[in-house]
Amino acid sequence: MWLIVNPVLLLGVYGFVFGVIFEARAPADLDVPFVAWLAVALWPWLAFSDGALRGSQAILQHSALISKVALPRHLLTGSTQTAAFILQLLGYAVILIVLTLLGIDLSLVSLPYLLFVLATLYLFSLGLGLLLSALQVFVRDLEPLLPTFFLFWFFLTPILYSPEIMPDFMSAWLSINPMNWWITEVREALFNGKSVPDSNFLFLVTGSLVSLWAGFAVFNRLSPYFEDFL
């Protein structure tokens, strides 16, 4: 029950605070309510950030298991990150159903493309989780810093606001912020009916594979020394 209720309540809180109090609006060329503009981007971010953060804590949380049982250690991070990601996607499915029932015109024909976009986002989150979980064994100060870093990253990504309102000096940030790539493609799929991969999708694939490669490379390099520092 809470899997269904929590996403709806969270959407109501963000929609009221930013849509009513701060009077945020969707882009002028897009005829959708702000709450829909917010919702379709918020949950992919929650899946990404919750997965990466929970995955980053997996090795420290299972330190006793690592010292007693021989097992592929990347599975500890991978299973934790995957579970968090899937739970958020289930909440996302609930939100999309609610928006459809409220009469929001979402492009259902683009759902297969949306799933491909979310799959690359999962790989990006997994790679980042593996990287951070390995580093956190040796740099314990990362644990309190990461939530603040991800919160800052969240507000630097056009989820709660339209990209057009960002200051000119930060326009270059949008092109190098990887989460902006994913958020843009999600909105393009659901609002504009984008259903065929193009060069932008190749950026997502490349970013996810680079993240996954870097995560595994650092994790495999550091994992033999985990017992000495746990």
Q: What is the largest CA-CA distance in the chain?
A: 58
Segment 69-86 mean pLDDT:
89
For residue range 15-27, list pLDDT tens digits in order.
888 888 878 788 8
Cα dist from 192 to 12, 16, 110, whole Å: 24, 25, 9
Token pair 């209720």 is at which residue?
A: 5
How many whole angstroms separate alpha carbon 25 and alpha carbon 162? 7
Yes or no: say if 207 and 178 are a contact pair by the CB < 8 Å rule: yes
Check residue 204 and report its DSSP letter: H
Read off the pLDDT band of 3 (50, 70, 90). Answer: low
Task: Look at residue 130 in the predicted model and tell me its pLDDT.
Answer: 96
Question: Structural domain tally of the chain?
Answer: 1
Task: Look at residue 213 in the predicted model and tell me its pLDDT.
Answer: 97
Read off the pLDDT band of 173 (50, 70, 90). Answer: confident
For residue range 86-118, list pLDDT tens digits in order.
999 988 998 899 889 988 889 989 999 999 999
By residue range, what is the domain housing residue 217? 2-229
Report the mean per-residue pLDDT for the chain: 90
Between 70 and 105, name the one with better pLDDT.
Answer: 105
Buried b / exposed e over 87-119, threshold 16 CB at 10 Å, is bbbebbebbbebbeeeebebbeebeebbebbbe
How many whole angstroms separate alpha carbon 186 and alpha carbon 14? 19
Question: Counting Cβ atoms within 10 Å, is residue 3 exposed (0-12), middle (13-18) or buried (19+)?
Answer: exposed
Segment 140-163 mean pLDDT:
91
Check residue 29 and report its DSSP letter: T
Cα dist from 66 to 56, 108, 170, 225, whole Å: 15, 44, 44, 11
